[in-house]
Amino acid sequence: MTSERFAEVDHWIARHLLPPDPVLDEVLKANAAAGLAAIDVSRVIGSLLALLCGLVRAHRVLEIGTLGGYSAIHMARALPADGRLVTIEANPRTAEVARANFARADLVKRIDLRVGKALDVLPGLVDEGHAFDLAFIDADKENNAAYADWAATLVRPGGLVVIDNVVREGRITDDLSTDPQILGTRSLYAAMRMDARFEATAFQIVGTKGWDGLMLARRR
């Protein structure tokens, strides 16, 4: 089976199950025009994130790694009118692209975009007294274990933590890897396994973004 087939099936599922969405299409166009890497979640995974927000009855969502806001828009739309999504982006230029996309999606009031390195921003969210129903971790993989630790503090009992890119075309199993991103995510697995605050699993995904995976961890 080829990766082209995986991508074709993703497109088929989107066409046959999900409504056409001109705003999401415009967002991806704006991202490409601004030169952002096309490393957002796929449409089907975006719809999964939205569905998970509904399952945990999310009012408050935390995202680490905004890029152009494609995943944030999926999740923010899944919130009630008084819901709020806080999303953290380190790159100010990228954050400006996201800000314009949030306006395009008419979500400016529902999305609180914080520009800065997540490890600098997260302590402030604790001080502000936030309690999130769901956290989506999708930034620099080197800090994945640290982000999961912050999520344990910031996500309420029964809430959900979702971590992207935990398979990386199978490279996650490479005991000899020296890639800091792989090492960071391997540390995440080790930390999650030992962490009594979470019930976690991970699974592989194929589609338009190749072969990767998600970790889901329920805050006990």
Name the binder of 133 from ligand SAH, ligand DHB, Mg ion, none, CB < 5-8 A by kind: none
* Number of residues lying near Mg ion (CB under 5 A): 3
Q: Please state, in angstroms and rounded to a whole number, the distance separating the CA atoms of residues 166 and 190.
A: 12
Q: Per rule CB under 6 A, is residue 63 in the interface with ligand DHB? A: no
| Closer residue to ligand DHB, CB minimum distance, 39 or 119 | 39
Yes or no: say if 44 and 207 are a contact pair by the CB < 8 Å rule. yes
* Number of residues lying near ligand DHB (CB under 6 A): 4
Q: Please state, in angstroms and rounded to a whole number, the distance separating the CA atoms of residues 25 and 77.
A: 15
- Rounded to 10°, the helix 22-33/70-77 angle is 160
Q: Please state, in angstroms and rounded to a whole number, the distance separating the CA atoms of residues 62 and 43.
A: 19
Among 85, 138, 145, 154, binds ligand DHB (CB under 6 A): 138
CB of 105 to ligand SAH, least distance (A): 12
Among 164, 188, 205, 207, binds Mg ion (CB under 5 A): 164
Residue identified by tokens 């945990």 is 56
| Closer residue to ligand SAH, CB minimum distance, 2 or 138 | 138
CB of 91 to ligand SAH, least distance (A): 4
Written as six digits, the tokens of 173 are 């199993």
* Cβ neighbours of 17 (radius 10 Å): 10
Site of interaction with Mg ion (CB under 5 A): 138, 164-165
